[in-house]
Structure 1
């Protein structure tokens, strides 16, 4: 029997990983009605195009896209992509298109109920093309990772020396027409991982891929990115921004009430007993919400951490006392800081950052730095250590703020 079974649950209701494209996970998703309506308007035609879904780190962008894909699959006959394409820095045009093609083929085979796909010459030709250029294994420049149904399957693209891009594109277009003959109006292809890429890398990739993406009929390319991608494209890649369908779909943090509703919904759907009391006190969720500015992924991750740590020490106790939970949060934050091996002056600067809601590089004097470039070096180091995050705005302004753990230690938020 698992830890969660002991707590009267089928699984972890605080699981921070993105929701999958399944009926079970769709029941766990709450809110975002306006965003769903906005997304639905974008894909109301069969033409295809590029859509941007942007928002802060950890607010639930991928889960939102997956929930929307599930609804489109069941209600609008739009083929979802169960394995999102994770874009890496050293991308290659041919590799990327092969990754997309492989993921679409896998998705069609997953939802097919006829059992007759192998009778199609187009489908078989497409699979043969992929088989010649993709070898099973881990690693590589472009990976197709399971963020939908299926878990951890991964493919690595080998160097496709003998395959030219026009051949791939031509066969992909024929395959899409075949898919439409299977009663699907179009296909959704999420491109994830843009949160962690530099703006210049994203611009370089999209400039190179512009014509290939916009020219594919009936494919909806969904770019999942941090806040500010559309503004970045407008300013530095106008040829790309002009082919984006509408304005970006902005995913804002859930309200505190919605976060509590999310957790209650998960517990309700995962319970195996008549009544289950949430193992993490409500007040802890409130604290985590305030310190992280509503970052759902951080809230769920820290709740999970608390449960695992407490149950490992006191397996007979199903409910975590508030005082113990608070101490665990503080201890984990202290450990995070200790593991960073910062100098005393760097810790002082980090404390000043935590006292501010957010800051910009032009405020370098407040952090006892000689100039903005010096503060940039400190900021880059803190970002790599997971102590602060960057927040781009709809304009050109860039702000930074400390993460939830550092706010727990240094800010004025009551814990």
Structure 2
């Protein structure tokens, strides 16, 4: 049995993983009603692809997953004639991707999605390809080829008989792309008919807005312009706003839906719902209650992923140190004591940070934890160059992280790390649980 089963839960109620697109995910997505409504409206109604922007760990992936689930549920239950069906796993672009390689990867997943959703689409009268032939084609180690072509599930491709390994490269060369695009056009002839919802997540992993723009501009017509596909693009650090403003992508990508941290007055409801969803009975051992979780949320810069990770770490510490009885007696006091000790250890590792750098760090925390080099005057510097060494010392101590924009070779965005927020908690005097 897992630790969580021993405590009386079916699974980890403090998991920092994104919420899944299912009925449980709908219950767990607390405090995002307006954002959820706006995203589903965009997917149903707009000819542009929605984009979502917010800090890492704020819940962008969870929001998109639940939105896709609800749209599919509406179709399956007959509440909507529009077949909007999410492809479950998000895609990620890398600097190694080309337009051709990414398009091939997408269309392989689309072919599998036709197979997974075949019955639902057919029952509602949509034009879908033969499911048995798709299954054979996708999953057989070989397929029939005729002089560089192959036997398509749609038929019509003929040449000399031969055998070729069933690889994505071979499919692309022998008509795979043409075939899947035909399926999409015939099944989803208009946006009102529907389409598969695809997500490109973590655009910030491309490291620069220049890289992101170049790749997205490259796939604009070949992927983003494919009929029958609805895309959602997610990113942090201002990257989605940057790419959405590209002249080549205007009219293709919508202005970002900004996801801000969940309001503090929603946090106790959020964690209470999680504890209730995962509890196997009323007799469970709650290692981090709603009051303690709210405290950890404030310490972590109002970042939900940070708060979940702190709660998970504390739970493991409590079990390993036989502190469950102490938790039952005074959970909030023990959480505070544990976090105080962790903060002191982290601060001890920051000996290389000087006084001026600490001034920058303090102002950055008071400003919400994010800034850019262009705001150097707000930190008392005459130039970006004058502030840069102090930012570097904070980054070397893992108190902040930054992204570089190759278009001007300057640090574009700066944010406090999870470790940095804990150190800030120590430096601001260990604000007690319940203090606002």
Same fold (TM over 0.5): yes
Give the equivalent residue in structure 2 for 1:206.
216
Query: What is the aligned counterpart of 2:265 among 246, 257, 281?
Result: 257
Q: Deviation per CA, 1:3-28, whole angstroms, max 9, x where unpaired?
A: 11222211111111001222233322
Give the equivalent residue in structure 2 for 1:123.
134
Query: What is the aligned counterpart of 2:288 among 266, 274, 280?
Result: 280
Give the equivalent residue in structure 2 for 1:269.
277
Query: What is the aligned counterpart of 1:290 among 298, 309, 313?
Result: 298
Equivalence map 1:5-404=2 (5 Å):
5-45=5-45, 49-76=48-75, 77-113=83-119, 119-120=130-131, 123=134, 127=138, 160=169, 163-164=172-173, 167-177=175-185, 179-180=187-188, 185-197=194-206, 198-226=208-236, 228-233=238-243, 237-245=246-254, 247-276=255-284, 278-314=286-322, 316-317=324-325, 319=328, 321-336=331-346, 344-346=351-353, 348=355, 350-356=357-363, 357-358=366-367, 359-361=371-373, 372-373=384-385, 375-376=387-388, 379=391, 382=394, 386-389=398-401, 400-404=414-418
For 1:262 and 1:250, the matched residues in 2 are separated by 20
CA contact (8 A) 1:190 1:221 kept: yes
Q: Deviation per CA, 1:186-210, whole angstroms, max 9, x where unpaired?
A: 1100001213332111011112111
CA contact (8 A) 2:353 2:394 kept: no
Distance 1:97 1:351, change over 3 A: same
| Deviation, structure 1 residue 360 | 4.1
CA contact (8 A) 1:54 1:224 kept: yes
CA contact (8 A) 1:52 1:248 kept: yes
For 2:243 and 2:346, the matched residues in 1 are separated by 35
For 2:336 and 2:186, the matched residues in 1 are separated by 56
| Deviation, structure 1 residue 412 | 2.5
Q: Indicate the RMSD between aligned Cα atoms, in angstroms.
A: 3.9
For 1:233 and 1:115, the matched residues in 2 are separated by 34
CA contact (8 A) 2:115 2:134 kept: no
Distance 1:315 1:409, change over 3 A: closer
For 1:263 and 1:276, the matched residues in 2 are separated by 15
| Deviation, structure 1 residue 161 | 7.8
For 1:286 and 1:391, the matched residues in 2 are separated by 29
Q: Which moved further from structure 2: 54-63 or 351-360?
A: 351-360
TM-score (norm 2): 0.74
| Deviation, structure 1 residue 327 | 3.2
| SS in structure 1 of the partner of residue 172 of structure 2 | coil
Give the equivalent residue in structure 2 for 1:135.
none
CA contact (8 A) 2:90 2:200 kept: yes
CA contact (8 A) 2:104 2:177 kept: no
| SS in structure 1 of the partner of residue 249 of structure 2 | helix
Structure 2: gaps (5+ residues): 76-82, 123-127, 144-166, 405-410
Distance 1:49 1:120, change over 3 A: farther
For 1:334 and 1:25, the matched residues in 2 are separated by 36
Aligned residues: 380
CA contact (8 A) 2:53 2:235 kept: yes
Q: Deviation per CA, 1:301-345, whole angstroms, max 9, x where unpaired?
A: 11111001111111653647333322322444455566xx65x44
For 2:353 and 2:379, the matched residues in 1 are separated by 9
Larger Rg: 2
Distance 1:73 1:115, change over 3 A: closer
For 1:159 and 1:253, the matched residues in 2 are separated by 40
Give the equivalent residue in structure 2 for 1:146.
none
For 1:125 and 1:350, the matched residues in 2 are separated by 62
Structure 1: gaps (5+ residues): 133-157
For 2:13 and 2:231, the matched residues in 1 are separated by 30
For 1:348 and 1:366, the matched residues in 2 are separated by 17
| SS in structure 1 of the partner of residue 50 of structure 2 | strand
